[in-house]
Structure 1
Amino acid sequence: MFTPRCADKSPGPFDQLLSVLAAFFGVQSRRNRERDFKHGKAINFVILGVVMTIVFVIVLALVVKLVLRSAGVS
């Protein structure tokens, strides 16, 4: 069973990734948000956010290209 990490500890890389993904969807829990602001380094979240945004744009562009190709447009 999954047990959440203690809110008093610094977020690890996986916790930071989950926090960024939750922020993308707007579903971050208050406890995790407080942990991130108290114990996390802002630069880590900024870098992950930029990387995840770039990945999102690339995936979106590939999906659009695939849909257009299957519709015979391109």
Structure 2
Amino acid sequence: MDTKGNNETAQPGSKALPRPSFLKVMQSILAGALGVQSSKRHQEDFANPSPWAYIVGGILFTTLLIGGLVLLVNVVLAST
């Protein structure tokens, strides 16, 4: 435990991870939604200091998925 009271252990010489790119976040969200996320990518995602990119991306993905399904059902029902 460090002196700040965090449970994270600071390793000497370790570098802070850069923020994930938009493409990397989207790939992780899609792979996670489909259930094909690799163990390596999963560990990389959880090693990032801030989860906000994944939270916002997940909410947007879920909203678009539900909206797309509602639209698809309405189009199919309207054509019958």
TM range, normalised to the smaller chain?
0.7 to 0.9
Structure 1, unaligned runs of 5 or more: 1-7
Relative contact order (alpha carbons < 8 A, sep ≥ 6): 1 or 2 greater?
A: 1
Q: CA RMSD in A?
A: 1.5
Query: Aligned pair 1:57/2:66, yes or no?
Result: yes
The runs of at least 4 consecutive aligned structure 1 residues that moved more than 3 Å come to none
Matched residue count: 64
SS in 2 for 1:11: coil
User: Percent sequence identity over matched residues?
Assistant: 28
How far does residue 15 in structure 1 lie from its aligned partner after superposition? 0.4
Provide the TM-score with structure 2 as the length reference: 0.73
Higher helix residue share: 1
Match of 1:39 in 2: 48
How far does residue 48 in structure 1 lie from its aligned partner after superposition? 0.2
Provide the TM-score with structure 1 as the length reference: 0.78
How far does residue 12 in structure 1 lie from its aligned partner after superposition? 1.3
